[in-house]
Amino acid sequence: MALPKARGHDSGSAVADFVLVAALVSVLFVAVLQVGLALYVRNTLIACAAEGARLGARADGDPTQGVARTRELIASSLSARYSRDVTAQVTEVDGVQVLSVRVLAPLPVIGPLGPDRGFDVVGRAFLERQ
């Protein structure tokens, strides 16, 4: 008894399968990298804003020093593009004065490019001169 021949209409389908799966895996890989970049930028902005708030909240400091330090840290760790909109203000939380440094920065959507003001992060520190 003879064995049936392999199906001829399936020949070459492995190449098409490989191309489709490779494209899907590549898109997923790039998406995961982009989410990682966005989280890295967000965490770096939060750390820089908090450090600027701590400097501005010192007994001999003022909010403008905190803004300048935040801009300097962001420019050195990410890019000056992310440090364009940095503000500081003194607020009161539960009877305690707090310096808040706010950073509005672009959200990286396609590589480092994305909409302005996509991130709104705040760093806070208690004022020492209370």
Convert the pLDDT of each residue in 11-29 to its tens digit: 667 888 899 999 999 999 9
Asked if residue 5 is part of any domain, the answer here is no
Convert the pLDDT of each residue in 69-119 to its tens digit: 999 999 999 999 999 999 999 999 899 999 999 999 999 998 888 888 889
CA pair distance 3, 93, nearest whole angstrom:
83
Q: Is the dihedral of CA 99, 126, 67, 108 positive or negative?
A: negative
Asked if residue 93 is part of any domain, the answer here is yes
pLDDT of residue 15: 83
pTM here? 0.84
pLDDT at residue 41 tops 90: yes
Total of domains in the chain? 1
Centre a 10 Å sphere on the Cβ of residue 99 and count the other Cβ atoms it contains: 25
Asked if residue 11 is part of any domain, the answer here is no
CA pair distance 92, 103, nearest whole angstrom:
19
Domain that holds residue 63: 19-126
CA pair distance 99, 87, nearest whole angstrom:
10
Centre a 10 Å sphere on the Cβ of residue 63 and count the other Cβ atoms it contains: 20
Asked if residue 3 is part of any domain, the answer here is no
* Nearest one of 98, 119, 124 to 107, comparing CA atoms: 119
Asked if residue 12 is part of any domain, the answer here is no
* Nearest one of 47, 51, 50, 45 to 108, comparing CA atoms: 45
Asked if residue 1 is part of any domain, the answer here is no
Instruction: For the chain, count helices (H), then strands (E).
Output: 2, 3
